[in-house]
Amino acid sequence: MNNFNLDKTDPKKDIFFIGIGGISMSALAVILKNDGFSVRGSDFKKSAMTKELESKGISVSIGHKAENIDGAGLVVYTAAIAKDNPELLRASELGITAIERATLLGALMKRYKNPIAVSGTHGKTTTTSMLSHVLLAADLDPSVLVGGVLPAIGGNMRDGSNDYLVMEACEYSGSFLKFFPLYSIVLNIEEDHLDFFKDLDEIVKYFRDFVALIPPEGAVIANFDDDEVIRATDGAACKVVSYAINSKDAMWTAENIVFDNSGFANFDVLANGEHFIHAELSVPGMHNVSNALGVIACAQILGVSKENIKKGLTSFDGTNRRFEYKGMCNGAKIIDDYAHHPTEIRATLNSARAAAKNGRVWCIFQPHTYTRSLKLKDEFATSFSNCDYVIVSDIYAAREKDTGLIHSLDLAEAIDAQSHNAAYIKGFDAIAEYIKQNVKVGDIVLTMGAGDVFKIGEMLTE
């Protein structure tokens, strides 16, 4: 239970963010600064985000040092911050309250009339962004917290009115159990973050506990194409609003789905079997038809008009690092995508195959974390069948240390055993050079992963 009250924070003292340059932490820092709080923080290196924060009058210390904490009245940190972090230790010594980012997010949600949390293993950023476009089209002045850069709001956050807050709800380490949503979209539930969760049953239990946070007057908008989502929402105290592409038993469904040459869908939306709207998307793939159904169902509950729903959906053409066009190399398109889970990879490659037409699809895949690479190795092996060539780079460690149990070469061999199309290449320079020598006009090259693999695309399009 999250009992933290932001309004009881001493206004004369700073709120200090450890790791303030992160995509979510930076957004929270800006919102609190705009609300009149004194905010500063630290990060281990300079970045575009730390420069942006400093331009807004937020002081950022580079490097984590104990003395940075002095004078703070509240310390905020993420689950990724080590327990022996010198700033965290100093806060404890001085008796300064230190809370996780998720606790602060939960406290922030209480300030809004309609807090909407988008949850699920995949698609949170895209769906949060899509819903934000719809609310913007309706001139509802939403506040937005999104885990990527959304061009429509000029970054990763929008500080709007206190009527609507649209944000992502991540299940990792049980963070979303500290939230206070009135509405939530549950997109899907699969095995992931297995460095924290024991198995799929435990993940479903966490989602069930998350749904239980929604009050009776609220609603959960649930993807009934996903059996685990059905399990997690069964018996919910709040209203369950179902949507599905493949199940006609859901309240919201789609039919007459047609894809254009770019892989963008247009389709009829049915509410309880009755025609509601004809929707046109500007992002590719069947998975986005599903995401759109969840957004439409949520928007209808919020009272958004049919015209504004249609307008918002059509205006959304993606976020940075979600099937983002980067440029050309030897007549081949370079596209970057954040996909790092087997299901996401399949969906992204399906979109790439549709867009490539007669060209070849190349995928430069950067595995994300050793735990995920090891535990989902067999699933990764079968995820690249809709791809002509796969190059596997070194594993991006993120918060983890190399256990020696898995290497990118192991993944490349597992993929190649299934699809006969994969190889491991060490180093971004070598990968970029190989691509330059082998791609042809009409090919599509995907840089894929949640780490820094996008840098290869930048090298190819310079």
**Do the Cβ atoms of 200 and 190 come closer than 8 Å?**
yes
* CA torsion through residues 146, 149, 150, 155, sign: positive
CA distance 420 to 305: 50
From the list 37, 3, 188, the residue with the least C-alpha distance to 110 is 3
177: DSSP letter: G
In sequence order, what are the residues at sequence separation of 6 or more whose Cβ sits closer than 8 angstroms to the Cβ of residue 153?
Answer: 132, 136, 144, 146
Sheet holding 332-337, edge to edge: 324-329, 332-337, 444-448, 361-365, 389-392, 422-424
Cross-strand pairs, 447:
336, 364
In sequence order, what are the residues at sequence separation of 6 or more whose Cβ sits closer than 8 angstroms to the Cβ of residue 394?
Answer: 366, 408, 426, 427
| Amino acid making up residue 171 | E
- Cα 49 to Cα 21, 42, 43, 45, 52: the distances in Å are 6, 12, 10, 10, 5
CA distance 32 to 27: 9
Cross-strand pairs, 254:
269
From the list 13, 28, 31, the residue with the least C-alpha distance to 95 is 13
From the list 138, 142, 139, the residue with the least C-alpha distance to 128 is 142
E strand segments, 80-211? 97-100, 114-119, 143-150, 155-158, 164-169, 183-186
Phi/psi at 282 (nearest 5 deg)?
A: -120, 20
Structure tokens at 281: 């998307």
CA distance 227 to 233: 10
Residue position matching structure tokens 């942006």? 52
CA distance 138 to 117: 19
Active site residues: 124-125, 168
CA distance 429 to 422: 18
Structure tokens at 388: 């002509």
